[in-house]
Amino acid sequence: MVQDYQEYIEKVLLTEEQIQARVRELGAEISRDYAGSELLIICILRGGVMFTTDLVRQIDVPLAIEFMAVSSYGTGARQSEGEVRITLDLNTTVASKHILIVEDIIDSGHTLSSVIEMLKTRDPASLYVCTLLDKFERREVEVPIRYCGFKIRNEFVFGYGLDMDEFYRNLPFIGTVNLEKYETPLG
């Protein structure tokens, strides 16, 4: 049985209300910035899903949504270390389009910097990043962030798209983990 999150949560870092209020602000900002153009939103699976689906409903310029999945090889399931592989690529061309990448969290920066480099070679009209969370203290590679929901300290977080060994993405809030109380379901 997967543990109930109540057993290991340290604190609620961002409530559902705080997240939704910030998502509305970001949506308004993006709508202003892209007024008169069309957007291609690229959601990075799987963590970016909740944020993307809420965010796009707050944007009022015409937009299309695409999905991309990347996996990173690293020392453990909670770190990424440079080597990033695309496991699901886009179904459309990005050439001459205004691209906005939507991600749940930027940590070391390796994942997103690889995605950006790869997309740049496909000649978009513009390419920007919107991340819900920025764990800025952990950055190893610089990533240009145009829209950021919240800057957070170096703590492992879960909920609202972010997982603990693939679970708890469905929680409407974001919490921090007491790793001493957390038992991995992966054995």
Catalytic residue numbers read: 107
Out of 14, 102, 108, 130, the only residue in the binding site for ligand IMP (CB under 6 A) is 108
| Sheet strands side by side (includes 126-134) | 83-88, 63-73, 39-45, 98-106, 126-134, 147-151
Please give the Cα distance from 109 to 159 (Å, whole number): 20
Nearer to ligand IMP, 99 or 106 (CB): 106
Tell me if 52 contacts ligand IMP by CB under 6 A.
no
Beta carbon nearer to ligand IMP, 9 or 112: 112
| Least distance between ligand IMP and beta carbon 86 (Å) | 14
Alpha-carbon distances of 44 from 4, 51, 83, 103, 183, rounded to whole Å: 27, 10, 16, 6, 27
Residue keyed to tokens 């970016």? 48
Kindly tell me the burial class for residue 31, based on how many C-beta atoms sit within 10 Å of its own C-beta (0-12, 13-18, 19 or more). Answer: middle
Per CB under 6 A, 175 contacts ligand IMP: no
Q: Which stretch binds Mg ion (CB under 5 A): 7-15, 44-52, 82-90, 172-180?
A: 44-52
CB of 1 to ligand IMP, least distance (A): 21
Q: Which does 54 bind (CB under 5 to 8 A by kind): ligand IMP, Mg ion, none?
A: none
Residue 129 touching ligand IMP (CB under 6 A):
no
Question: Helices marked H in the chain — which ranges?
Answer: 16-33, 49-56, 110-120
Question: Contact between 47 and Mg ion (CB under 5 A)?
Answer: yes
Binding site residues, ligand IMP, CB under 6 A: 47, 72, 80, 103-112, 135, 156-158, 162-163
